[in-house]
């Protein structure tokens, strides 16, 4: 179950900070402006750090849809977030895919 979205101005998990109001991500790869959907998606991940979030829950929380037969939109947005965070796309450390289920966000030791 996803946590209720809070109205906090800044969220921080490990060395990743999201300024919700300005949609700015600060992390190991510098500071980046996020699109509205990237910001919403990262906010959901950060509010649920350490938990596996099913694709269907992410589609509902971020895109407000129950349709998730094609999760390509979600996958593309996750890829963009990984790049902006400086995550290794082949072996992600911050935003990991849980095969057949969804994604898990959190700081993992190397």
Evaluate whether residue 20 is within a structural domain: yes
> Is 5 domain-assigned?
no
Instruction: Name the band, by pLDDT with cuts 50, 70 and 90, for residue 109.
Output: low
- Residue 4: inside a domain: no
Distance between CA 43 and CA 5 in Å, rounded?
Answer: 8
CATH number at 80 reads 1.10.10.10
| Torsion angle of the four alpha carbons 93, 66, 100, 25, in this order, in degrees rounded to the nearest 10 | 0
The answer to whether residue 2 sits within a structural domain is no
Closest-CA residue to 20 (of 2, 51, 50, 45): 45
Q: Is residue 110 part of a domain?
A: no
- Residue 110 CA to residue 14 CA, distance in Å, equals 13
89 three-class SS: coil
Is 73 within the bounds of a domain?
A: yes
pLDDT digits (tens, 9 = 90+) for 74-88: 999 999 999 999 988
Structural domain count, the chain:
1
Whole-structure pTM value: 0.88
Q: Which residue has the higher pLDDT, 73 or 7?
A: 73
> Which residues form the domain of 90?
10-105
Q: Per the domain annotation, does 44 fall within a domain?
A: yes
């Amino acid at each position: 179950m996803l946590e209720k979205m809070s109205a906090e101005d800044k969220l921080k998990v490990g060395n990743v900070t999201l300024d919700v109001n300005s949609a700015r991500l600060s992390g190991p790869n510098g500071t980046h402006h996020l699109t509205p959907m990237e910001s919403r998606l990262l906010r959901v991940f950060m509010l649920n750090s350490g938990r596996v979030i099913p694709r269907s829950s992410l589609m509902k929380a971020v895109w407000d849809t129950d349709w998730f037969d094609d999760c390509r939109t979600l996958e593309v947005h996750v890829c963009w977030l990984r790049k902006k965070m400086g995550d290794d796309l082949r072996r992600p450390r911050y935003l990991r895919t849980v095969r057949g289920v969804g994604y898990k966000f959190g700081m993992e030791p190397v």
